[in-house]
Structure 1
Amino acid sequence: MKNYVDVEERLPLLKSIPLSFQHLFAMVGATILVPIILGMSPSIALFASGVGTLIYIMCTKAKLPAYVGSSFAFITPMLTVMSKYGVEAMLFGIISAGFVYVIVSGIIKLVGVNWINKALPPIVVGSVVIVIGLGLAGVAIGWAGLGGKLPDEIVAYNIPRWKCILVALVTLSTAIIGSMYFKGFLGVIPILISMVVGYVFAIFIGVIPHDVMIKIAEACHINNIIQIPSFKFPKFNIDAIIIMAPVAFVTLAEHIGHVYVTNNVCDRDFTKEPGLHRSILGDGLATMFAGFIGGPPNTTYGENIGVLAITRIFSVQVIAGAAIIAIVLSFIAPVAVILENMPKPVMGGVSILLFGIIASSGFRVFVEDKIDFSKKRNLIISSVIIVIGLGGASIKIPHSQVEIAGVALATLVGIFLNLVLPEQSKTEKVNE
């Protein structure tokens, strides 16, 4: 007897809507956190994720259940570009990263995927992921009130440090407890629950200023319910391309991993039908669309794969419903105001866990792929990537304003070392 709903199956609307909300709740915490971290509009991120998911569904011929949401991998290079060249340049960098996906999709269609595996083996991907997570650690500590300097908004309203730390601690504790002990549907959304608990607690102890509460109340007025998101548009910048485009190769490896996991969950081979090239194309076009309207880059979400595994409902119709709900919510003013005024200590608390998980997932790559660090080659590649990525290294191309730094530089160096270093050093060969 079949105990699942297959990819192409359609459900009655009254059954489909609650299941779509479940997918929405699974992804919304992380999806809105990325733009909040970057000072971008969460409403636009919701809109971009919804439309991006529909684009993805069209590209994959509605044969691969996946939701796309904001990517954490690009946070550090996005912050770098924004600080140096502005938001419009950063948006163009997002478009360039999406275009890398489109190019890779075409190459895979022609020659297959082996070349990606050769350029980006686990030793490179794991090391870069560690850099991405640890590179954001200081941001989380600062927001939580545990750093030397409190967030500007906290200082402006003269909020005591102990209150910031307490809110961050409550938020972090809720996220940890939820991740460890919540079951079923609640076990899928511990991050969202922790953000709600932290937000309510922040209101209770007075971390959220009175004027913000007034804004929320005004947004709830019937005449103000509908609000058009504040779309922003890109501006060409070559530096943004060089800083952000290389990071796409890391998220490509993540994307391919997600497809293989979905294969196992759904007991299908999506790399053949609809094809890995279609999946990557959908992700790339979704990211390019986000860049054109002022949203963060998109990626397929592991959280939603978890929902598929728990519910055994693989229907693409349900995923599309979640995308449509996200688009509708992006036009609801109270949602936008609440998200845009997320207290920094709440973000700090949840980010301590999230950014740590990102870094730890890099170590997980090493473990799952049985990376042997007794081999000098692996030790060298990982060591150089981590120090370059975290040490603030940058290279400026002579006679130009082009600068390669951070995650982008670490990724390129890692790819280069992987391609040129032999499998064994001379000493290792002699010992054998």
Structure 2
Amino acid sequence: MNQEKMMDVHEVPKATTWMMLSLQHLFAMFGATILVPFLTGLSPAVALISSGTGTLSYLLITRGKIPAYLGSSFAFIVPITAASEIGGIEGAMVGSFLAGLVYGAVALLIKVAGVRWIMHILPPVVVGPVIIVIGLGLASTAVGMAMNEPSTGTYSFTHFLIAMLTLSVTILGTLFFKGFMKLIPILVGIVTGYTVSLFAGIVDTSGIKEQWNELQSGNLWTGIFEMPDFVLPFVDYAPLQVLNGEIILLMVPIAIVTIAEHIGDQMVLSKVAGKNFIEKPGLHRSIAGDGVATILASMLGGPPNTTYGENIGVLAITRVFSVFVVGGAAVIAICFGFIGMITAVIASVPQAVMGGVSILLFGIIASNGLRMLVDNEIDLSNQRNLIITSVIMIIGVGGASIVIPLPTGTTLQVDGMALAAITGIVLNLILPGKHHSYGNGSMFQTNEKSESDSAA
């Protein structure tokens, strides 16, 4: 893949190019962002709006120096579901708000104490395998989307063929497209797959027809615009009345796990973009931005936000790192949350098409985790490093879980990537020979000046 930057962080593309590149990011995050609210009973439209507002606030807090898109966090699916059973959607939103405050506390601690302490907890030998797990843990999801008919979950040759066509066009575009087309291979792949899907008859156009019928009947407002189902504190509910200890216990600890995921994403993004975002603008700013995004989402009725590996994958493929492109995607997402027709069109993109693209994007995430181990020269002939790496990957990819009974009769479940990350952190802290965890990578050889700059 061509590693030359096509567009740097502060470059502003021309209007048409800007729109297309932003749409590409929107398509990359769309499926995962609306999947979380579908699974948790929240509003997909609100999830789009909260991802957009969260991304814009993140770009503002990080001084427009980190081209990251924020979307719905998968780590909070189980906690939100459990918290909703206790205190309704309102209770889950209060729990999300408190989780966002944890981000703020960690960011403040990093600003005061520097970044070295958290790097001791999360060295490359832990973060690299966790990133691999993030990508490979999604492998079955991507392949299932590509191979199976959505309504029955059974194998469909037609769906798999369309997924492979979408993937092939995206790969060929990445390698051989020239000029502007080289900037949007993912979008070209999706459009190609969607077009073929229309002829194959696997596109569900019922939502589009419903919106069109509203327009035909003269209902311009309901045919174009749609007011999302916001859940607003002090308007729809009183936060203190729905808060209890169970919700706090369910929601708040997950923030520690997602912070580890966030740091991993920042490391991957730093490698992809060729910049050290952990030092400048500083890890404290990026974590604070993630926390503010989660707080904003909780105040709208959306799921907690997190930096998206899918969009990092887009950056890695296109080499376009402009924050204006990412910000444009955020603005479009907010608008789409209010436009019923556009939301219906995007929602009609077949699962097979998104599955084909996801095979590449999720694979890039896993490959970047491997790249982190290689770039930091982690010695896997060392038994300590080999043990930590192996255990993290098998627990994460294997889908291991731990269920903790709570005094109230409910349970707290930690599984997959979260459990793998926690296990890796514990092993790194208790096994002797910790100096082997850092390899020879420059990112982790942080001197006092770097720490001072990070806290500035």
State the TM-score, normalized to the length of structure 2.
0.74
Listed as ranges, the matches of 1:98-247 within 5 Å are: 98-145=100-147, 150-152=149-151, 161-209=156-204, 211-215=206-210, 217-218=212-213, 222-223=220-221, 224-231=223-230, 237=247, 238-243=249-254, 245-247=256-258
Residue 130 (structure 1) shift: 1.9
Map of 1:34 onto structure 2: 32
Residue type at the aligned position of 1:177? L
Residue 364 (structure 1) shift: 1.8
- Residues 136-188 of structure 1 show CA distances to partners (whole Å, capped at 9, x for unaligned) of 22222222235xxx432677xxxx82222222222222222223323444333
Residue 244 (structure 1) shift: 5.5
Q: 1:68 to 1:98 in 2, by over 3 A?
A: farther
Mapped contact 1:42–1:336 kept (Cα < 8 A): no
Residue type at the aligned position of 1:66? P
Map of 2:55 onto structure 1: 53
Q: 2:338 aligns with which of 331, 334, 342?
A: 331
Residue 256 (structure 1) shift: 5.2
Whether 1:363 and 2:363 are equivalent positions in the alignment is no
Listed as ranges, the matches of 1:290-301 within 5 Å are: 290-293=297-300, 294-295=302-303, 297-299=305-307, 301=311
State the TM-score, normalized to the length of structure 1.
0.78
Residue type at the aligned position of 1:189? I
Listed as ranges, the matches of 1:271-310 within 5 Å are: 275-293=282-300, 294-295=302-303, 297-299=305-307, 301-302=311-312, 310=320
Residue type at the aligned position of 1:347? M
Q: 1:253 aligns with which of 259, 264, 275?
A: 264
Stretch moving more, 160-169 or 272-281: 272-281
Residue 378 (structure 1) shift: 0.7
Stretch moving more, 399-408 or 353-362: 399-408
| Aligned mates of 2:312, 2:45 — CA distance in 1 | 21
- Residues 382-401 of structure 1 show CA distances to partners (whole Å, capped at 9, x for unaligned) of 11112222242314156453
Stretches of structure 1 lacking an aligned partner (at least 5 in a row):
426-432
Residue 410 (structure 1) shift: 1.5
Residue type at the aligned position of 1:99? L
Residue 6 (structure 1) shift: 8.9
Residue 270 (structure 1) shift: 6.8
Residue 35 (structure 1) shift: 2.2
| Aligned mates of 1:209, 1:190 — CA distance in 2 | 24
Mapped contact 1:239–1:403 kept (Cα < 8 A): yes
| Aligned mates of 2:123, 2:434 — CA distance in 1 | 16
How many pairs were matched up?
400
Aligned to 1:246, what secondary structure does the other structure show? Answer: helix
- Residues 374-424 of structure 1 show CA distances to partners (whole Å, capped at 9, x for unaligned) of 101111111111222224231415645342422222111111111111118
Q: 1:242 to 1:107 in 2, by over 3 A?
A: closer
| Aligned mates of 1:111, 1:64 — CA distance in 2 | 22
Identical-residue share of aligned pairs (%) = 36
Map of 1:69 onto structure 2: 70
Q: 1:165 to 1:380 in 2, by over 3 A?
A: same
| Aligned mates of 1:299, 1:6 — CA distance in 2 | 17
Residue type at the aligned position of 1:211? S
CA RMSD in angstroms, aligned pairs only = 3.7
Map of 1:428 onto structure 2: none
| Aligned mates of 2:22, 2:95 — CA distance in 1 | 27
Q: 1:56 to 1:46 in 2, by over 3 A?
A: same
Q: 1:51 to 1:328 in 2, by over 3 A?
A: same
Mapped contact 1:98–1:288 kept (Cα < 8 A): yes
Aligned to 2:377, what secondary structure does the other structure show? Answer: coil
Q: 1:299 to 1:24 in 2, by over 3 A?
A: same
Residue 272 (structure 1) shift: 6.8
